[in-house]
Amino acid sequence: MDLVPLIDLIGEPYTALVGGLVLGLAFGVFAQRSRYCTRSAVLSALGESDLKPLATWAAGFAAAILAVQALLGAGLIDVAETRFFSTAQSLSGALIGGLLFGIGMVLARGCVSRLLVLGASGNLRGVFSIAIIAVTALATYSGLLVPLRDGIGAFWSTAAIGGNDLLAHAGLERSAGIGLGVILAVVALGFALKARLSLWRLMGGVMIGLTVAAGWYFTWQLSTQVFEPIQAESLSFIRPLATSSELALGSGMAGLDQGVLIGAILGAFLAALVSGEFRISTFSEQGVPSIWRYAAGSVLMGFGGILAVGCTIGAGLTGGSVLAVSSLTGLASMVAGAALAQLVLRTIGSGSARTAAVIPAE
């Protein structure tokens, strides 16, 4: 991929912006059409719905790992100097932040990426939640909550366990990572068949994973062709919300993060519009929980996502696809937090005749 002509034409930051825009656009379209959501997958695993959400999520997770591990095996990307492996990552941050994030995404009825897609589809509850997540993420990323973030993150890091590479810990070669991706793909296909998932929704989930792989490939290629060194990266949504908030306050420069956000919003909006699913939704609708529950969940996600160095996409798929221990730990903690929160809500709602307030439609 020769990016030099584009770099010469518009410069390095705007090349990253354009790349992020394309990636975000694809993500927004496929996420809207497939209803890709980690929170929904957890509820599906708990028996709160059919297996379709879990099957869709599994397809994306498997595709991301298989595609990225294949790229690494073929030497088409190198992640040794990325943030996941060049510096020690916080395991305490992944555990505690992931737990808070998981609880938050159940309270707010969606992870960050899902709320972004919902907001772009006309859901004002999603818009409200994203605004609070962005403010909290900024405070945690570079504001008042930095001391608390650093204090929690300093308890335990990957330096204490000898690194962040899962394959290295297991003493395995890259081929094992590819093999893991194949196994996960077979499992995901099994879920899809059991859930009778439509081909289009299955492909939507797969394309989410491939978009993450495309992000790694694009940023790696960009990192080898720019004058100022940058780190390879892929999709995330919690950090872009924080950096875009900084940009809005007059600090920083637009780049990949802003492209991903703009693209995802535009892609989801267009997909919802074309499919006839764009609809204004408010807090006044029947069965919708209190605005304070959304606010609390959003705060937990904003703080927990930055503490865990990623949301369910940034840590779960981007970090998970390179088999970073901290990211996989964060993802597992998010799932555990979500399951715990849902079980508590189920218990609270069990005595009520109206369970819609506990497990409402989005």
The one-digit pLDDT tens for each residue of the chain (362 residues) are 889 999 999 999 999 999 999 999 999 999 999 999 999 999 999 998 899 999 999 999 999 999 999 999 999 999 999 999 999 999 999 999 999 999 999 999 999 999 999 999 999 999 999 999 999 999 999 999 999 999 999 999 999 999 999 999 999 999 999 999 999 999 999 999 999 999 999 999 999 999 999 999 999 999 999 988 889 999 999 999 999 988 888 777 778 999 999 999 999 999 999 999 999 999 988 888 899 999 999 999 999 999 999 999 999 999 999 999 999 999 999 999 999 999 999 888 765 444 433 444 46
94 neighbors 308 (Cβ within 8 angstroms): yes
CB 236 within 8 A of CB 20: no
Task: Summarize pLDDT for 12-67 with one digit per residue, the tens.
Answer: 999 999 999 999 999 999 999 999 999 999 999 999 889 999 999 999 999 999 99
Which amino acid is present at 356?
Answer: A
What DSSP state is assigned to residue 289?
Answer: P
Q: Say how far apart CA 256 and CA 307 lie, in whole Å.
A: 21
Cα–Cα dist 47/35, whole Å:
18
Mind listing the pLDDT tens digit for each residue in 119-148? 999 999 999 999 999 999 999 999 999 999
279-285 long-range contacts (CB < 8 A, ≥24 apart) are 279/121, 279/122, 279/123, 280/122, 280/123, 280/124, 281/118, 281/122, 281/123, 281/124, 281/125, 282/124, 282/125, 283/124, 283/125, 283/128
**Which residues are registered as beta bridge partners of 256?**
none
What one-letter code names the amino acid at 355?
Answer: T
Q: Any bridge partners for residue 90, and if so which? A: 157
pTM score: 0.94
Q: Where are the domains of the chain?
A: 8-357
